[in-house]
Structure 1
Amino acid sequence: MMKVHFVVHESFEAPGAYETWVRQHGYQAGYSRVYNREPLPESIDGIDLLVVMGGPQSPSTTLAECPHFDAQAEQALIARCAAAGKAVVGVCLGAQLMGEALGAPCERSPEKEIGKFPITLTAQAKASGKFAHFGESLEVGHWHSDMPGLTESARIMAYSEGCPRQIIEYGDLVYGFQCHMEFTPEVVELLIAASEPELKTLAAHRFVQQPDALRAHDHGAMNQALFGFLDRLVEAYIQKR
């Protein structure tokens, strides 16, 4: 049975569709809800897939600034899992931490993106068994200002008009998603509740949607595309074990 471990930084940055996928397959889920001071795993022996979620922090956020977020410890965990041949997925902040862990500093995105906007798949993605089912483009969720760094061997799988690094392949089993394909109506409501005052101040940004628009989106197609990617990632992981 696949053992999936989630690192969750805030209650409003929930795993969403990732948890749905875990339940559908009957996989085992473990959690480090660091906002509740739950520790990171000391051993990676019980992890097949590590999923590091998003959050309002950045890789440069210090323990003094956010006592429950240890960026260096999380980067060390990501690096250990990647080096040991585990499957690793980073989402938003998790993707930025992944880049840092592999030697590529986080950068500012050209545009702030909050809402649902299309990503375009690169030629590498279209030729990849893990992403071919995405098609030419796909509308997905976004909620970010930064983007992951690129290592020398990294390959960009998807980009958007507002951000050139939406999905990055750092290795055969290691992927960073700046976009949020895990969004569900419940997760979006949590994010709105945590960010509504800030959203009003960002109304002039061309890639920032307001709460009514955010609530109107259907997330089914992008969730299904995510499930297809995760199934293919698991297949690749099992083949390499």
Structure 2
Amino acid sequence: MKPQLKVHYFQHIAGEGFGSCYEYLKSLNAKISATEFFALPVDLALDIEALPHIDDVDLLIIMGGSMSVNDEANFPWLKIEKRWLRRYLAQGKPVIGLCLGGQLIANALGAAVSKSPHQERGWLPVRKTKHVPAHCFHLPEEFQVMQWHAESFEIPKGAIHLAENDGCRNQMYQIGQNVLGFQFHPEITPHALNLFLETDDIDDQYTGKYIQPEKALKLSNKNKFIQGNQILNQAIEYVLQRSSEVVYAKCNKA
């Protein structure tokens, strides 16, 4: 009997939950659990042992958030989260990072996260980079997805740069065949977008030519969400399948 897939996600703020991939994972009969960092007291000295045991996680999904990965002074659990991530990544297990999540993976591996050349907010085009190796995660040549960030990651050492756009060159990367880091939000749903709009003082924080007004975002057509959601489901399938192939190959060699 095939063991049940154990999926864990890290959530950093109340308004950025699991998004579109919840239904897809439930269709795989996944057991889903979460660490809600936003619910922890700010002054809590979180111990790494309070996070899940790595053996109890088959797939990790790291959600977005309004804080900076560099703001460990105000969010002390960031340091513990990054330590746990390094342990998890050392095991070669599958992980997907979304926006802040992609920044956290990169930063945990030594890559810088800093102010983006341009802030991005809204439905913006992203394109696949040139000369991506054939074995890498397959992206459309160009697609439109939700952006919502003021900082961006450097591509971690040893990673493959998968996607870019004019506002922010580093939009997506891959490490091995088990790690995919996104700068954009493929998981966004109409409900999640409404939560973003309700909880973020967007017109005060975001400026520039890659910023779409709140009124336009409130009128987003439901069809706009589909392609990003499909990309995320395919990304989940990719890291799970490729990670299983690696484990199978190692077992056969043994």
TM-score for both structures, normalised by structure 2: 0.85
1:101 match:
108
- Of 174-183 and 218-227, deviating more is 218-227
Residue aligning to 1:6 = 9
Determine helix, strand or coil for the equivalent of 2:173: strand
Letter of the 1:62 counterpart: E
Is 17-26 or 3-12 further displaced after alignment? 17-26
What is the SS of the residue equivalent to 1:219?
helix
Q: Matches of 2:39 and 2:157 in 1, distance apart?
A: 36
Alignment partner for residue 170 of structure 1, among 146, 152, 175? 175
Aligned residues: 234
2:129 maps to 1:122: yes
* Correspondence 1:226 to 2:232: yes
Distance between the aligned counterparts of 2:198 and 2:242, measured in 1?
38
From the CA coordinates, give the structure whose radius of gyration is larger.
Answer: 2
Within 5 Å, which residues of 2 pair with 1:1-241? 1-37=4-40, 41-63=51-73, 65-66=74-75, 70-125=77-132, 127-131=134-138, 134-195=139-200, 198-201=201-204, 204-215=207-218, 216-217=220-221, 218-241=224-247
CA drift at 1:128 = 3.8
Amino acid at match of 2:103: Q
Q: Take 1:206 and 1:62, find their aligned partners in 2: how far apart are those partners?
A: 30
Give the AA of the match of 1:7: F
Q: 2:19, 2:188 within 8 Å by CA — same for their partners in 1?
A: yes
Q: How far has the Cα of 1:201 moved from its partner?
A: 3.1
Mapped to 2, the partners of 1:126 and 1:207 lie a distance apart of 30
Q: Could you say what secondary structure the match of 2:111 adopts? A: coil
- CA–CA separation in structure 2 for the residues paired with 1:60 and 1:235: 33
User: Could you tell me whether the CA contact under 8 Å between 2:203 and 2:214 is conserved in 1?
Assistant: no
Q: What stretches of structure 1 of length at least 5 have no aligned partner? A: none
Q: Aligned partners of 1:36, 1:202: CA distance in 2, in Å? A: 24
Q: Which moved more, 1:70-79 or 1:183-192?
A: 70-79
- AA partner of residue 187 (structure 1): A
What's 2:250 paired with? none
Unaligned runs of 5+ in 2: 248-254
1:203–1:209 contact (8 Å) kept in structure 2: no
1:124 touches 1:157 (CA, 8 Å); kept in 2?
no
| Superposition deviation, residue 24 in structure 1 | 2.2
Query: 2: distance between equivalents of 1:183 and 1:190?
Result: 10
The answer on whether the counterparts of 1:126 and 1:135 sit within 8 Å (CA) in structure 2 is: no
SS in 2 for 1:45: helix
Task: Mark the CA change 1:204 to 1:71 in structure 2 (over 3 Å): closer, same or farther.
Answer: closer
Shift of 1:200: 2.3
Kept in 1, the 8 Å contact 2:101–2:181? The answer is yes
Residues 126 and 206 of structure 1: is their aligned pair in 2 closer, same or farther, counting only changes over 3 Å? Answer: farther
